[in-house]
Structure 1
Amino acid sequence: MTFARHPRRVVYIAVLLVGVTFLYFRYFASGNRILYGSRVHAKGSYLITSGDTAAGHLPDRSNKDSGPDQTHSENETVVLVWKDETWKRVEHFCSRDDKFDRTIFHSPAGNVSMYIHDVKNDMYVSNELKKHGTWETPNFKVFFDHLTSDPEIGLIDLGGQLGSYALTAAKLGRQVVSIDPLEQNILRFCKSVQENNFQDKITIFYSAVSDSRRKVSFTGPNNHIAAVKVQEIDSKSNLAGSYSKFMSQTVLLDDLLPYIHFKKAVIKIDVESHEYQALRGGSKLFATIDVRAIMMEWVNVKMTGFAPALIEMLRGYGFKPYTVYISDNNRIPRANSLNPAVYMGWPFDVQFLKM
């Protein structure tokens, strides 16, 4: 049997091939519209789009007269992912109808609505927020003092989690860029941004920040989502947790620079032992933005082996280490200088201030 003897079959096969080719290019090969995320939700899937949301083409939010991005709803929080060597906007990410626990966060800038995790998955942060409406109160006093020291200071939030620092800055009227790689965090943070009408203040990056662009995984305890750590994909770490199958694309701190529309900043970084790598990719940012303070947990950093390199790198950028409190016992906010030679004895939280 040959195709020449069956012309109808030839036509049928040709039409079928054309249809399959069309579907392939329409839904799989297109860089402008691909499914993002592992589930389809009641309100439809959320999509990555390109075009006017490539780096540098979002509205300048530091200027209220610049107007909203005309191609998107001005009521939709901007969420960006890194794809094809640029940032792409995730459409409808914040439009899901998930039911999350909600509380009122008593920030030093005023009360804000905040969506949190089930406390069985977040035994510290969400539990504290749900019970008392507060988190890291002495830290927030120092953080708030930094913000209010200059009306032009914005926030660069590395490891934004549920957004307590970002929401505080936005409540004060400041511009914020926040990055976090966990969908569970971003979904709740996104809803908090919209509920408080902070869409014009906060830009969210759904990614992880490091010293190179690569794929990483995560690991951490099931009941403490705030303690989830970056884990290299080829790592043989035996840390317990349910995140090892989840992967994320890392970006450089410098990749955030086109979206930072303020010239002065405070950096809050909480990336669970990955602080050195995260800040190492920010040479252009530190040369461009007048970063006044960097606040971080030191308890994990000092155990990584990168602590001396981190101290030296920040010294090169003009920073000197200080305490956040007089002591961890009385928790009174005040900055005392720290000796780099004895970094293993530094307190739980530290800050690096411009000299």
Structure 2
Amino acid sequence: MFGLRSIVNLKGFIGFIVCSTMLLCIYISIYANGREQYLQTTLRTQPRLFNIAVNANSYLSKCKRATLRVPGGSQAPICVYNASEDIWVSGDIIKHQSWEWKNVVTVWKLMKPVKDMAFLDLGCNIGAFTIPMAKLGRRVIAVDANKENLKMLATSLHLGGLDENVTIFLNGVSNETKYVHLVPSTSNVGGTKIEHSDIQSPVDIANSIITIKLDDILTKFGPKPFFMKMDIEGHEAMALRGAVTFFKDIDVRYILMEWMHYKDTKDKKEGSFISDFLAKNSFIPCRISDKNELVMEDAYSSWPNDILWIKKSIKL
């Protein structure tokens, strides 16, 4: 039988356990909430930097190598998908050593005379534009939501000795910070799109996909003039809605944009927003081949699939 002292000691021990458990639960709750708030705050304000060296080393043995033509008569190594997986970008590079060669040449020629012009590649894919502009010796900021694309790009940059010229971000681009998931396109990696995700606080942050606003990456840009390429599968209007401050503070002189998603459509809301927004920011829509100005009224009928927006001060 327990004596009186034993009973007192037992009650004290039980009390200690209860108090300790309560304190632990409170601590876990505070820590978890604090961690979630910290992650949310971090995700709102910081683009996710993609480590080129680490990812290149881990992907090197998987890289299917091809050769990419570069304007000026040179070339560079590039990692590609099998043509059956990626019939357009990788398929063309495997066959012709290039993707959208005429557009790449146009960008190269416009950038070359402006010695400090940098290149912003939104929807960089495996690097058909990023690699030539890095080869030109320019600073490149490459953004994509597909981690596999970026592993391949990182490896290509490493193989070509272009690591120092490029900064890579693993993000989608939108008008707000949110969690999304990828929607693949059959046999066309470049056609991958992003959709809103119901999972808003994933446990594995490293494997989640997060969109950012262009306004939120202002601190990553210097005073250099920029050539901007947008190929984000119909999300161009959404990205521009999150770029109000960006276009006020950044010296963007050219925008190469895919227009095919806005042609021949009854719903002109997104296309009209793009043309109105860029016109208000003093950009003129032009044909890429000859830089001739396009007529706004023809935007949904005869505009080409790709267009070049030129800053009015440059055009004049």
- Give the shorter-chain TM-score range: 0.7 to 0.9
**1:224-261 CA distances to partner (integer Å, 9 max, x unpaired)?**
01001122336xxxxxxxxxxx9521100122221123
Q: Secondary structure at the match of 2:285?
A: strand
- Alpha-carbon separation, structure 1, partners of 2:124 and 2:195: 18
Give the structure 2 partner of residue 264 of structure 1.
225
Code of the aligned partner of 1:350: I
Query: What's 1:341 paired with?
Result: 297
- In 1, Cα distance between the equivalents of 2:158 and 2:26? 40
How do residues 116-135 of structure 1 correspond to structure 2 at under 5 angstroms?
116-135=80-99
Q: Secondary structure at the match of 1:272?
A: coil
Q: What is the CA distance between 1:197 and its match in structure 2?
A: 2.1
The count of residues paired between Structure 1 and Structure 2 equals 289
Distance (whole Å) between structure 1 residues aligned to residue 9 and residue 232 of structure 2: 66
C-alpha deviation, 1:207, in angstroms: 0.5
More strand by share: 1
The question of whether the paired residues in 2 share the 8 Å contact of 1:156 and 1:266 is answered with: yes
1:255 aligns with 2:216: yes
- Alignment partner of 1:276 is 2:202: no
Note the alpha carbon deviations across 1:149-181, whole angstroms, 9 max, x for none.
311110011001111211111111100111101
Asked if 1:209 corresponds to 2:173, the answer is yes
Structure of higher CA gyration radius: 2
Contact 1:263 1:288 in 2 (8 A): no
CA distance 1:124–1:323, change in 2 (3 Å): same
Q: Which has the higher helix share?
A: 2
Matched-pair contact (CA < 8 Å) for 1:253–1:285 = yes
Percent same amino acid at aligned positions? 23
Which residue in the other structure is 1:65 paired with? none
Quick check: 1:104–1:112 contact (8 Å CA) kept in 2?
yes
Pair 1:26–1:272, CA change in 2 (3 A): same
* Cross-structure match for 2:64: 101
CA gap of 1:150–1:85, structure 2 versus 1, over 3 A, is closer
**2:186 match: secondary structure:** coil
- Cα 1:348/1:283, change in 2 over 3 Å: same
Hey, what's the Cα distance between the residues in 1 that align with 2:243 and 2:273? 15
Segments of structure 1 that go 5 or more residues without pairing to the other structure are: 35-81, 235-245, 326-333
RMSD, matched Cα = 3.4
Which one-letter code corresponds to 1:164 in the other structure?
A
**1:162 is aligned to 2:126:** yes
